[in-house]
Amino acid sequence: MKRKIIGLLCMFFLIGLIVGCGEEKKVENTEIVIINGWGMMDENHQIMRDIYEDFQENNPDITLKLISMPSSDKVIEKAKEMLSVGKVPDLIFTGGMGHETLYRFMVEKGYALDLMPYIREDEEFEKCISPAAFGKWETEDGKLYTISDVLLMCGYWYNEQIFQRAGIKKLPSTWEEFVECCEKIQLWAEREKLNTVPLHLDPETSMYLINAYMVGKTRERSGEDPLGVDTELFKEALEELKKLKKYSEDGDYTSTYLDNMNDFNVGHTAMCVNGVWAEKMLHPNLKASYALFPSEEGKSMAAVSSCLGYIVGKTGNVEKQDACVRFLKYMLSESVQVRILKDTSQVPASPLVDMEEYKNQCSFRLYQAIQKVNEADIFFETPVNSWTERETDYFKRKIYQIFTEEVSIEEFIDNMGKSK
């Protein structure tokens, strides 16, 4: 009897073993949530959504949940809302905004994950990260809390036909030549009775021109960007900006990004201060080329920045954090970077993407614009990296008061300084 019981137990054990071996091992799944506000156009949102979905397909052990916001401001609002109730987001893409608020808060409170240990242990990952990112965002103690998958490159687009008809034979290389260029376009338009102005002087354009004027005035002498609202040079830059107002339209401060692009496409403006990425929004039949900012001594300048990008939340969940880093490696992989270039006209952040090799993956006009920027004599930070958020907010809301002479330049500077 005893032998029978032992025999039955052995049989049951073997059956269980066989059944257990026949079962598929269940794959552990890690869910990460990304708050995203990529791009200003619906098309760009969809392109990035497709890229994210491909990550999901290639990484079945990770579930990527997307919270898509309409703008970078809304991304920051959503992240702050989560943090206010003690919930640290897994992954945030800020689109360049929030360095004075969200980014600083998350770093100071220990809510942002230091990515440097992951970078140092993976040589291939390190090679994919732009030197500009290390230069701008690496802390004094050697930590890195953000990585962007694109670079911002900015100069201005110009209408070739308008320049030719206005008698402009060479692109302006100094500020004086830039003003003369505006004068020629305005006189030509008046002569021909055309509703064309040299440029829109909206807040964003004004910020870029002020940065360019200040850097172009002193970089060659000091080697540093002399940016700051409490300097005599800032006052001088505002005075020069006010002189340019006669070459734009009243009410420019209310025009939107899309308004400016539409006006440039129909020939209402001769120049459009914008990034190379705007090429995607240019009419295919428009004869437009890219130009760089002028400087005091005639050297070409371009604004180039690695802006605030992805921030991985320090959630304490190692699996989630590792999954987020895998996502960053995917976004900086050569295949995805080339796809971003091809489909969105954004400049890849990875140094491994050689524009000569992939120039057929984008329009020739975009390729020429990127090459033009790369050949600049002087590079400076974009306003989103060089101005505080309070300065930016005040400037965008109030710059029109200088143009309408509601306040003096001195009063404007004083009030802007108080906004810090």
Same domain, 38 and 138: yes
Q: Which domain holds residue 248?
A: 154-304+378-418
Same domain, 245 and 195: yes
Long-range pairs of 409-414 with CB within 8 A, sequence gap ≥ 24: 409/235, 409/238, 409/239, 409/242, 410/235, 412/238, 413/229, 413/230, 413/234, 413/235, 413/238
How many C-beta atoms lie closer than 10 Å to residue 215's C-beta? Answer: 27
Q: Which pLDDT value is given to residue 25?
A: 47
Same domain, 228 and 203: yes
pLDDT tens sequence across 177-208: 999 999 999 999 999 999 999 999 999 999 99
Q: Is residue 372 part of a domain?
A: no
* Residue 222 predicted with pLDDT over 50: no
Of residues 247, 285, 276, the one with CA closest to residue 371: 276
> Per the structure block, which two tokens stand in for 415?
């009030």
Same domain, 69 and 48: yes
Q: Which pLDDT value is given to residue 100?
A: 81
- Residue 29 and residue 53: Cα distance in Å, rounded? 16
What's the whole-model pTM score?
Answer: 0.87
Do residues 409 and 210 touch, judged by C-beta distance below 8 A?
no
> Per the structure block, which two tokens stand in for 94?
């800020």
pLDDT tens sequence across 338-394: 999 999 899 999 999 999 999 998 999 999 999 999 999 999 999 888 888 888 889
Say which CATH number the domain at 137 has. 3.40.190.10
What is the rounded average pLDDT for all residues in the chain? 88
Same domain, 119 and 159: no
Q: Is residue 46 part of a domain?
A: yes
Q: Which pLDDT value is given to residue 391?
A: 87
Same domain, 196 and 216: yes
Q: Is residue 363 part of a domain?
A: no
Place of tokens 């080329």: 289
Binning pLDDT at 50, 70 and 90, where does residue 227 land? low
Same domain, 280 and 315: no
Binning pLDDT at 50, 70 and 90, where does residue 114 land? very high
How many C-beta atoms lie closer than 10 Å to residue 285's C-beta? Answer: 6
Same domain, 288 and 313: no
* Residue 307 predicted with pLDDT over 50: yes
Q: What are the C-alpha distances in Å from 163 to residues 167, 185, 366? A: 6, 7, 20
Same domain, 391 and 344: no
Q: Which pLDDT value is given to residue 221?
A: 46
Q: Is residue 19 part of a domain?
A: no
Same domain, 262 and 385: yes
Q: Is residue 124 part of a domain?
A: yes
Of residues 290, 248, 246, the one with CA closest to residue 269: 248
Number of domains in the chain: 2
Of residues 361, 356, 360, the one with CA closest to residue 337: 361
* Residue 223 predicted with pLDDT over 50: no
* Residue 156 predicted with pLDDT over 60: yes
Same domain, 298 and 312: no
* β-bridge mates for residue 304, sequence order: 153
Handedness of CA 134, 137, 140, 145 (dihedral sign): negative
Rounded to 5, what percent of the chain is helix, strand, coil?
A: 55, 15, 35
Q: What are the C-alpha distances in Å from 409 to residues 109, 274, 389? A: 38, 26, 20
Same domain, 222 and 319: no
Q: Is residue 14 part of a domain?
A: no
pLDDT tens sequence across 16-48: 444 444 444 455 799 999 998 764 455 667 888
Q: Is residue 20 part of a domain?
A: no
Percent of the chain with pLDDT over 70: 88
Of 43 and 163, which is predicted with more confidence?
A: 163
Of residues 344, 340, 371, the one with CA closest to residue 149: 340
Tell me the CB-side half-sphere exposure of residue 186, using CA atoms within 13 A: 15
Of residues 191, 377, 172, 385, the one with CA closest to residue 271: 172
Q: Is residue 103 part of a domain?
A: yes
Mean pLDDT on 293-319: 95
> Where are the alpha helices (H) located in 151-231, listed in sequence order?
160-165, 175-191, 203-222
